[in-house]
Chains A and B, each alone.
Chain A
Amino acid sequence: MKDVSYWSIFLNSSLINNFVLAYFLGICPFFGVSSKIGTAWKMGAAASFVMLVASVCAFVINIILDIIGAPYLRIISYILVISSTVQLVEMLLKKLSPPTYQALGIFLPLITTNCAIFGLALFQTNKGYSFSQAFVYALGAGAGFALALVLMAGVREKLDLANVPQLVRGTAAALVVAGVLSMAFMGFAGLG
């Protein structure tokens, strides 16, 4: 995995294999927090941030687990270390930069144990990325997640004004929109 360019890793994780629309990761916040563009991009930014933290954590844990020869501890250590690191960062943020905390802080606990974050840690391990490659991969995944969330929020804001039958309102309509968005993202398949 040494010869893959950073740009293609970024494209791959953000558009071609978009975490939400191609891997179905992070569906809960995707439907839960995508009703307004304002909250959607904040959520996206917070998730990207946590993804970067998780990526670094996972890389370090993996090295340690390799040294002590205990791959069966991977799942449990990933989830514990990632969630506690995020908690720590949240506290630091509260102390150092209250405005940022005000904007993103409330979303942090929500996404700590999100499947997109955990999935990212697992995928980068499975793909055997180097440290910098993993970092770019996380950056792309975060950007793709934010993009999907904001696009979805844009469509849903319009959808609220439309005359939708009572039966379809809510989750069912959101799912159909997600299906169409996912179809649109299939168009990126040739890029990589």
Chain B
Amino acid sequence: MALKPVSPTDEFVKGLWRDNPVFIQVLGMCPALAVSNTAINALAMGAATTFVLVMAGLSVSLLRKFIPKEARIVSYICIIATFVTCVDYIIMALSIELHRALGAFIALIVVNCLILGRSEAFASKNKPGRAMLDGLGMGVGFTFALLFIGIVREVLGSGTLFGVSMFPDGFQTWTIMVLPSGGFLAMAGWLLIVNWLRQKEDDAARRAAEAES
């Protein structure tokens, strides 16, 4: 079966919605929940992960002819760990406060199944340019998902957005949203919305197909 050629833009766009890593594929959940208690943390985490995704995609794709099949997972992990160490030190140099807020979760990007998954499933089979675009798309999709969760948690939990107060003084903050359980609940809420939207999309597609036949 001949596959329809995929345009480069499509490579990028698919990570945003159709194959969104967090909401659709449910990958990389640990950082998505752990550091999304404020929007700024979510954004920083998303940016760090995107950097690692793009660079790992590029390196794996460039080296795909040299990496023996048996040792591929180990090689990918080495490549990913190298870039994660870079990001760790870059963030420490840029802002020590941010580094403290994200804590061990920057190092934990190494074991984010999303990155290994993209290296294995996409970058190892495609040209460097495409692998980078795919990484960028997945990274941006991941960042958006984190940001959505982060915004809900920060607005409801601390009454602020990016540190700016959102409500008049009398607002009673939902402390639960900043705490761990709030992460699970906010994520569940977004999943519901995404499921509902997808169901509507599917229904529309089915109706269109029926109308055609």
Contacts and interface: CB of A to CB of B under 8 A. Distances in A.
B37 to A, nearest CB: 11
Interface residues of A, number: 39
B29 A75 contact: no
A79 B81 contact: yes
B190 to A, nearest CB: 9
B111 A115 contact: yes
A27 B114 CA distance: 13
Contacts of A168: 192
Interface string B84-116: 110011000000000000001001101111001
B74 interface: yes
A23 B30 CA distance: 8
A92 B196 CA distance: 49
Contacts of B84: 75
B181 interface: yes
Contact of A123 (B104, B183, B185, B191): B104
Contacts of B112: 115
Interface in A120-160: 122-123, 126
A114 B34 contact: no
Interface in B33-76: 33-34, 74
Contact of B191 (A80, A114, A171): A171
B192 A27 contact: no
Contacts of B33: 24, 27
A113 interface: yes
A171 B74 CA distance: 30
A25 interface: yes
A27 B81 contact: no
Interface residues of B, number: 38
B176 A24 contact: no
A130 B107 CA distance: 22
B196 A24 contact: no
Contact of B181 (A26, A118, A172, A182): A182
A166 to B, nearest CB: 8
Interface string A1-45: 000000000000000000001111111100100000000000000
Interface in A143-192: 167-168, 171-173, 175-176, 178-180, 182-183, 186
A182 to B, nearest CB: 4
Contact of A118 (B29, B108, B179, B183): B108
A24 B183 CA distance: 9
B77 A26 contact: no
Contact of A28 (B34, B82, B85, B113): B113
Contact of B104 (A114, A122, A183): A122
Nearest to A76: B81
A115 B181 contact: no
A80 B184 contact: no
A79 B182 CA distance: 30
B180 interface: yes
Interface string A58-87: 000000000000001111100110010000
B185 A179 contact: yes
A23 B34 contact: yes
Contacts of A80: 74, 77-78, 81
Of B31, B34, B85, B111, most A-chain CB atoms within 10 Å = B111
Top 3 nearest A-B pairs (CB, nearest first) are: A179-B184, A175-B188, A182-B181
Given A75-B110, A171-B191, 11 more contacts: A25-B30, A25-B108, A28-B30, A28-B113, A31-B26, A75-B81, A76-B81, A79-B77, A173-B188, A175-B188, A176-B185
Interface of A: 21-28, 31, 72-76, 79-80, 83, 113-115, 117-119, 122-123, 126, 167-168, 171-173, 175-176, 178-180, 182-183, 186
